[in-house]
Amino acid sequence: MNFELSSKAGDIRSSLITTRRGIIHTPAFMPVGTQATVKAMSPDEMKDIGAEIILCNTYHLYLRPGHDTIASLGGLHRFMAWDGPILTDSGGFQVFSLSALRSIVENGVHFRSHLDGSMHFIGPEKAMEIQSALGSDICMAFDECTPYPASYEYALKSLDLTTKWAKRCKESFEKSTPPSPPLSKGGMGGVTSSQALFGIIQGGVYKDLRKRSLEELVDIGFDGYAVGGLSVGEPKEEMYETINFIAPLMPENKPRHLMGIGDLKDMLFAVEAGFDMFDCVMPTRNARNGTLFTSTGRISIKRTEYKSDNLPLDENCGCYTCRNFSKAYLRHLFLAKEILSMRLNTIHNLYFYIDFFRKMRDAIKGKKFGEFKKKWEVLLQ
Ligand SMILES: [Zn+2]
């Protein structure tokens, strides 16, 4: 993987990440494909809306259908017919948020499947084995997602464990993945040959612990750095303070990923602080619930006022849904619980997010991010 800053104004960055399966322009939004599918979307539709990378969940694919099954079928890209870059998360977040009866030990976590109650164990080596079998382009080190609230003592103990696991992930990753050869402009066509590995910064809302976590991960050395354990129930001011504190301390020459945060205003704030990559189920989940993002704010398509509204969702949107259908039709599909409702709503919301990031990148290049942010903060109120 290669990371190249293309534009920088203060802390705000725009960059090119070159992976073995394609280029990602940042700041980038990564749609979430939990079960090896971005819900309601085909891979062709993902390409059409301009998605450059998607995120899949290690925990879910390990439990069902199983990473060995996916490997035997040619790997995750082949399995789901998506040939662009894929980032797989570590599984840590889901182990801690979904599974019942988990117990954390030095080596990893014992947990009960949320699907059938069967017992499982994932530790750093297993997390690397699963992601290697899936064949994702960017893997994440296994971490403990520190809950909120957590005492200082707990957050410290938790981050020490995350650092130990990160070290073991790196060792295990290096054994299974030979180092990537330097990018050659000609022969390789700008494509690197191996997986990349990101480390995850924890430490809760304690600034000294966040700094310590980051420094320990930088000592180990990763291809990129992610911030985890935010948006887990802490007040927004604490989340914003942590984002502002940690971003400028992160290595400048590596991608910076803010995990699980997908509110447009929050992402604008984080881009301003210096983050590059985002993932969240918000646009897809909201689409299925009939909540749609537009350039004049968020709307609920089920409202009576749209019953005879012949206009598109958003006259400024170029997506398939807005080019072809009225709000009245989308409202009807939603109320009738038609499958097409979820599909058209998801196409629009994802297009809206990806287009929002494209315009944001243009604003950064044109040194107009401040104006862009101000305009959207008013629209998103
Ligand atoms: Zn649209």
Q: Give yes or no: residues 59 and 114 share one domain.
A: yes
184: pLDDT strictly greater than 50:
no
Q: Give yes or no: residues 160 and 275 share one domain.
A: yes
β-pair partners for 260: none
Is the distance from CB of 306 to CB of 331 less than 8 angstroms? yes
195: pLDDT strictly greater than 90:
yes
Domains contained in the chain, number: 2
Over residues 45-53, mean pLDDT: 98
Q: What pLDDT is recorded for position 52?
A: 98
Q: What pLDDT is recorded for position 98?
A: 81
Ligand 1 mean position, distance from CA 49 (Å): 10
Last residue of a domain, one of 259, 280, 301: 280
- List the domain range (segments joined by +) for residue 334: 282-381
Ligand 1 mean position, distance from CA 318 (Å): 6
Name the band, by pLDDT with cuts 50, 70 and 90, for residue 182. Answer: low
Q: Give yes or no: residues 309 and 331 share one domain.
A: yes
Q: What pLDDT is recorded for position 110?
A: 92
Over residues 269-292, mean pLDDT: 98
Q: Give yes or no: residues 268 and 309 share one domain.
A: no
Q: Give yes or no: residues 366 and 243 share one domain.
A: no
Over residues 284-298, mean pLDDT: 96
Q: What pLDDT is recorded for position 134?
A: 98
Over residues 127-135, mean pLDDT: 97
Ligand 1 mean position, distance from CA 346 (Å): 9
Q: Give yes or no: residues 180 and 226 share one domain.
A: yes
Name the band, by pLDDT with cuts 50, 70 and 90, for residue 186. Answer: very low
Q: What pLDDT is recorded for position 355?
A: 98
Q: Give yes or no: residues 206 and 216 share one domain.
A: yes
Over residues 296-318, mean pLDDT: 97
Collapsed DSSP state (helix, strand, coil) of residue 347: helix
Q: Give yes or no: residues 334 and 261 share one domain.
A: no
Active site residues: 89, 279
Ligand 1 mean position, distance from CA 46 (Å): 14
Closest among 172, 234, 171 to 203, alpha carbons compared: 234
Ligand 1 mean position, distance from CA 352 (Å): 6
Is the distance from CB of 55 to CB of 198 less than 8 angstroms? no
Closest among 218, 72, 82, 71 to 141, alpha carbons compared: 218
If one compares 186 and 150, the residue with the highest pLDDT of the two is 150
Last residue of a domain, one of 280, 311, 326: 280
Write 294-303 long-range contacts (CB < 8 A, 24+).
Answer: 294/352, 295/379, 296/379, 297/379, 297/380, 297/381, 298/380, 301/327, 301/330, 301/331, 301/334, 301/345, 302/331, 302/334, 302/335, 303/331
Q: Give yes or no: residues 146 and 172 share one domain.
A: yes
226-236 tens-digit pLDDT:
999 999 999 99
Q: Give yes or no: residues 274 and 217 share one domain.
A: yes
Q: What pLDDT is recorded for position 237?
A: 97
Ligand 1 mean position, distance from CA 343 (Å): 12
Over residues 365-375, mean pLDDT: 97
188: pLDDT strictly greater than 60:
no
Label residues 102-132 b or e (16+ Cβ within 10 Å = b).
eeeeeebbbbebeeeeeebebbbbbbbbbbb
240: pLDDT strictly greater than 50:
yes
Closest among 352, 353, 345 to 41, alpha carbons compared: 345
Ligand 1 mean position, distance from CA 332 (Å): 17
Ligand 1 mean position, distance from CA 28 (Å): 19
What rounded mean pLDDT belongs to the chain? 94
Ligand 1 mean position, distance from CA 376 (Å): 17
Name the band, by pLDDT with cuts 50, 70 and 90, for residue 180. Answer: low
CATH number at residue 202: 3.20.20.105
212-221 tens-digit pLDDT:
999 999 999 9
If one compares 177 and 75, the residue with the highest pLDDT of the two is 75
Q: What share of the chain is helix, strand, coil (3-state, %, to 5)?
A: 45, 20, 35
List strands edge to edge, sheet with 256-258.
28-31, 277-280, 256-258, 224-227, 196-201, 138-140, 86-88, 54-56
Q: Give yes or no: residues 217 and 324 share one domain.
A: no
Last residue of a domain, one of 247, 262, 280: 280
Q: What pLDDT is recorded for position 93?
A: 86
Which of 188-202, 237-251, 300-314, 343-357 has the weakest average pLDDT? Answer: 188-202
**Percentage above 90 pLDDT, the chain:** 90
189: pLDDT strictly greater than 70:
no
Over residues 161-189, mean pLDDT: 75
Q: Give yes or no: residues 244 and 328 share one domain.
A: no
Q: What pLDDT is recorded for position 190?
A: 38
Over residues 315-343, mean pLDDT: 98
**Percentage above 70 pLDDT, the chain:** 96
